[in-house]
Structure formats: C-alpha cells, structure tokens
C-alpha cells in the first residue's frame, strides 16, 4: 500500500497531495495535505520490522505525558503508517538551546518506573531489549552493550576481542557510572537530527527510542553527533543539576550509539567503539 493510501485509510480522509520529507533513514516520510487543507506528517511502515511504528507511537505518547516537553501528537498508527501532527520547520533562535536544555531536564526528572520499559523497542531497525534490571549498570551492560557487541562482532564490524573488554567493563562499571540516580525518562536516540525546530525556534523531540535509563546518555549522544551550545547544559542544570564528573562520563555512555552505528553502518564506528572499551575497561 502506498503512503497516501495508508494515510487515507488510517484517518478516513482523502489525501490531496504528498511531498517527501528528508531526514529519515529507514522509512519513507512525507508532508501530507488532506481534504479541507489540514497538513499532517506521515511515515511509511513498508519494509520496517513488525511493530516498529506501534512502539514509536507509544514512545511519543510516553514522552508527551511530561508537561512542557514538545512532542508531535500521534494522530493514527497502523502497520502501514504512523501519522503525526505536522510541525512547520523553522530555524534555531537565540533561545532554542536554552529551551532544549529545560525540556530535557523536565523530561528526565519526570522519571520512569524502572531501568527498562514495559515493551521492547527499536533504535533504527535494531531491536532494543527493555526487560527491567535491578540497577543502571546491569541494564546498560546486559540490555545494550553486550547484545550490540555480539551483533557488531557477528557482522564483522568489531574486533572479537571486544567481548573480553565488555566483561572487564561490566566488572568496573559500578565504580565508573557515577553516583546512583533513579531511572530517568530518556529519549534514547537524541542526536541533533532528532531535535526538530519549529518556526518560532522551539525545539521538538522526535523519533525517540525511549526507556527508563540514566539521564546522561541523552547528553552523551547529543554531544557525539552534534555540538550543542553551552546554553543547553546551563539551562538543564538550572532545572536539574548534573552529578559531579558527568562530563568525564560522556565518552563512556557514547559507547552505545557507537556500537549501534557499527552494527548498522560498519566503517570506522567499530574501531571507535573499541577505543572506548579499551579506555574504560
């Protein structure tokens, strides 16, 4: 089923026209104009793992529960399409970074019931196991780092000696992870491309891979695939001060997205992930 037909079936509305939207890497996405002039955003389910769009919709709704966090509203979800509120794109203003920092702090301090989530998720096309664990080090190693390491090694994107390094890291992680914190409600895939700026310069959080985790992982990814301005952290800490040593831990938490990229894209990401393992293990 084409995207226009999928949207029409999901909403019970006639589609007037569609226009491709860039930025997505795993699915067709479009700006869709409906009869009556309403505009929505739609993503195709064609070729995606079963259940991915349902999980994305659930994640958006979970983040949207937090007051003051801008997340596009879910209008419909079927196996063929995810339809969201259209947010007209704009450009950042002098206030955008501050707004992003405050929104992230509000999201994280809203908390989560556990380290994990009530369903498994996806990051890109990769399955994320979200079975709860007793603490953050156990969750991060067993639900994220060890499975990703195995996939990366199996795909030839990572040196097999990484397995032993993960074992050593697991033993050291309780001491490396910083002061214990309660589970935060994290976006989970917070690179700069998943911060959408509207015409007023307000940042919106899109394409999440959420779960209950350590709040520093969102900041780590934001710093890995982008250069957030100092106002982001300054505004964040006005709402929720970070634990001492958080900057020193950013590279540690960047291990997860580096492994994801090694599995997905190969290239030099495996070597970068191994360098992080060697540094901390």
Domains of the chain in start order, with CATH, are 3-85 (3.30.200.20), 96-280 (3.90.1200.10)
pLDDT digits (tens, 9 = 90+) for 252-273: 999 999 999 999 999 999 999 9
Q: Is the dihedral of CA 180, 248, 140, 176 positive or negative?
A: negative
Provide the whole-model pTM. Answer: 0.95
Predicted local distance difference test score (pLDDT) of residue 249? 97
Q: Which of 145, 161, 143 is nearest to 260 (CA)?
A: 145
Q: Which of 254, 144, 256 is nearest to 246 (CA)?
A: 254
Say if residue 83's pLDDT is above 90. yes
* Mean pLDDT of all residues in 66-74: 98
Q: Is residue 80 annotated as a catalytic residue, yes or no?
A: no
> CA 132, 137, 278 angle in degrees (round to 5)?
135
Annotated catalytic residue, options 80, 97, 189, 218? 189
Straight-line distance from the first to the last Cα atom of the chain, in angstroms, rounded to the nearest whole number: 49
Element (H, E) at 278: helix 269-280
pLDDT digits (tens, 9 = 90+) for 184-228: 999 999 999 999 999 999 999 999 999 999 999 999 999 998 888
Mean pLDDT of the chain: 96
């Amino acid at each position: 089923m084409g995207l226009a037909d999928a949207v029409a079936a999901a909403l019970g509305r006639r589609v007037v026209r569609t226009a491709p939207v860039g930025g997505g890497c795993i699915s067709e996405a479009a700006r869709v104009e409906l009869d009556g002039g309403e505009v929505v955003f739609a993503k195709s389910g064609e070729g995606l793992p079963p259940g991915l769009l349902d999980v994305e919709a659930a994640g958006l709704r979970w983040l949207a529960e937090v007051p003051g966090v801008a997340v596009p509203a879910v209008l419909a979800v079927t196996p063929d399409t995810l339809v969201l509120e259209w947010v007209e794109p704009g450009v950042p203003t002098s206030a955008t970074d501050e707004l992003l920092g405050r929104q992230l702090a509000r999201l994280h301090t809203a908390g989560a019931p556990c380290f994990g989530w009530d369903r498994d998720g996806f990051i890109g096309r990769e399955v994320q196991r979200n079975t709860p664990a007793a603490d953050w080090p156990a969750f991060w190693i067993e639900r994220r780092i060890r499975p990703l390491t195995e996939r990366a090694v199996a795909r030839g994107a990572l040196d097999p000696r990484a397995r032993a390094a993960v074992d050593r890291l697991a033993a050291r992680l309780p001491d490396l992870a910083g002061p214990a914190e309660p589970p935060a409600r994290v976006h989970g895939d917070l690179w700069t491309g998943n911060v959408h700026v509207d015409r007023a310069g307000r940042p919106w959080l899109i394409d999440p891979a959420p779960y209950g985790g350590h709040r520093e992982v969102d900041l780590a990814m934001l710093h890995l695939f982008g250069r957030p301005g100092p106002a982001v952290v300054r505004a964040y800490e006005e709402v929720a001060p970070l634990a001492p040593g958080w900057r020193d831990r950013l590279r540690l938490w960047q291990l997860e997205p580096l492994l994801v990229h090694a599995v997905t894209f190969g290239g030099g990401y495996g070597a970068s992930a191994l360098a992080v393992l060697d540094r901390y293990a």
